[in-house]
Chain A
């Protein structure tokens, strides 16, 4: 018997029970589309983070507090890390010869209001160097000055998108916006940049002097009573000088923080590569967890196929008897039922790939508050989905098919 005849036979018997076949397929469809779309979202998130950091160039170092007691990724989390950096730290680092400039930065979410318009914005508190380090250009108005920093002025530079959200076509310059209830004068608007950092668009930030941030918006102090800085971006004169700068920074900060020999650092200096690696690790875990959840639904789909195939074998016992009586061999019957299971699962997988791809496209259309994951369906995910659904089809079909093939023809013919 030729393969095409087996295929035609399988199509006939599956289409004889259309509703049942489609419901059985549904499990695989849902599983595969979940795998495809979730993996796409995970990979998209990773790609967008990578592109954000790559824009910053390779000669930038990040200085963040790091609890010496807590290891692993958790040690980098602000929740587990007491603040240890201050503005004097940043000023000291800036005096290192190989360092071009520093941008100490604090950030937090706050309610932003103008007239009747209200939104939640990401507030960055920093120095004028911030705009250079993060490569942000002023579209209108101006950036704040060191004078603004020194006198803790209530001035703000708006991201392009948030300016549009609050003011529409009107010019925001000179207007007062309320941030967490405090009135700030808008002195500048940034050019639209696109791109996102951790899903936060750089176009939806509000930048204020770091001193104002520390005293008027979010006060956070070290144990010594000094105002805390969450992170310091350090731009080094050239990427070859990165390692030297790093060593010098470490020595300087240890002296500044009065750490005795043998005491671990209460800060961490990370390169762009390390940051990328860190976020890569996070998004990998995220992708694996989502993939595993989707994998469970695939497993359930496979069990559904096995269940239906077992029912089908029982229902068609007489058919099996008839086929054996007219000369079907064990392997003919085995192949017939195996093919039906594989076909159900492959068709489900195919529809699932399409569904997952559509879902990923749909997610990429969503852009709420600058949050866009840019899902990417990669060919290896599709190959994975196809082979997994084929394996599921064969694995869930083999047992029912073997039961069918082993039936004794006489018993099968007598079956009522």
Chain B
């Protein structure tokens, strides 16, 4: 049952890929309800469908069947253009390998979503976003001049810049060392405290333990969905 205050409502979502003659069932009926302000880890073995679920939540992909209600509106059958608008305004993506434009500066990378939304005062907003991830002094640097952790923080600033409701992070610390990992996770927790919903795919239980809710997938189905009992949260 859809709750009035739920941000994301998934009902019996399936996703089938055609791989040559074979059909791959990436998701086999996933139902979830996510409220605004949650911090969630999606975990599972590789091939369990967690990235597919993430892509569908982020409107990068459409479900084969099922219903996806975002902020009370059904988005499962929207056109590509409408989905692009949702990606632009409602979601911010953070990827395992950063996915920054290599030849553009940090601030040009952060500016990208603003170009497509036609926002004004872009320079100011880019700098604000970079400051929120502690990179206010790195705006003119190119990705190659930044460390892995710094590149991921630029990517987070890019995800933030359009004030999204949800930040979706797919293995955001997969390519990072321990120190950078801790830094990235603490940024996500801070953003979550500021009210942004954070959904993170990971296979590291230690990282998952720092969120508030862990959804475990296996073979395209939710096998467990539980709150984290962890007193370190404030």
Contact = CB atoms under 8 A, between A and B. Distances in A.
Interface in A326-375: 326-330, 332
A321 B58 CA distance: 14
A323 B80 contact: no
B60 interface: yes
A16 interface: yes
B93 interface: yes
Interface string A308-326: 0000000000110111111
Contacts of A16: 103
B118 A327 contact: no
A248 to B, nearest CB: 81
B103 A413 contact: no
Contacts of A332: 116
Contacts of A318: 99
Nearest to A327: B88
A380 interface: no
B118 A326 contact: no
Interface in A1-45: 1-2, 5, 12, 16
B225 interface: no
A292 to B, nearest CB: 41
Contacts of A324: 60, 84, 87
A327 B60 CA distance: 10
B99 A413 contact: yes
Nearest to A6: B115
B101 A329 contact: no
A325 B87 contact: yes
Given A325-B93, A409-B60, A410-B60, A319 B101 contact: yes
Contacts of A409: 60
B197 interface: no
Interface in A284-328: 318-319, 321-328
Nearest to A2: B118
Nearest to B55: A410
Contact of A326 (B61, B81, B103, B158): B158
Given A322-B112, A324-B84, A326-B88, A1 B99 contact: no
Interface in A387-416: 409-410, 413
A330 B115 contact: no
Contact of B116 (A12, A321, A329, A413): A329
A327 B95 contact: no
Give chain B's interface secondary structure class.
helix
B5 interface: no
B117 interface: yes
Nearest to B90: A327
Contact of A327 (B87, B99, B101, B103): B87
Task: Find the residue from A324, A326, A328, A330 having the highest chain B CB count within 10 A.
Answer: A326
Contacts of B103: 12, 16
Nearest to A329: B84
B44 to A, nearest CB: 18
B99, B117, B162 — most chain A CB neighbours (10 Å): B99
A5 B115 contact: yes
A197 B87 CA distance: 73
A322 B84 CA distance: 12
B89 interface: yes
Interface string B186-199: 00000000000000
B85 interface: yes
B57 to A, nearest CB: 13
B101 A322 contact: yes
Nearest to A322: B99
Contact of A413 (B80, B85, B95): B95
B117 A321 contact: no
Nearest to B80: A330
Contacts of B100: 322
Given A1-B115, A5-B115, A329 B80 contact: yes
B116 A1 contact: yes
Given A330-B81, A410-B55, A410-B61, A325 B118 contact: no
Interface in B148-198: 158, 162
17 contacts: A5-B115, A319-B101, A322-B99, A322-B112, A323-B112, A324-B60, A325-B60, A326-B87, A326-B93, A326-B112, A327-B116, A329-B80, A329-B84, A329-B85, A409-B60, A410-B60, A413-B95
Given A322-B100, A328-B84, 18 more contacts: A1-B115, A1-B116, A16-B103, A319-B101, A321-B99, A322-B101, A324-B60, A325-B60, A325-B93, A327-B84, A327-B85, A327-B89, A327-B113, A329-B84, A330-B80, A330-B81, A410-B55, A410-B60
Interface of B: 55, 58, 60-61, 80-81, 84-85, 87-89, 93, 95, 99-101, 103, 112-113, 115-118, 158, 162
Interface of A: 1-2, 5, 12, 16, 318-319, 321-330, 332, 409-410, 413
Closest 4 CB pairs of A and B: A327-B88, A327-B116, A326-B113, A329-B84
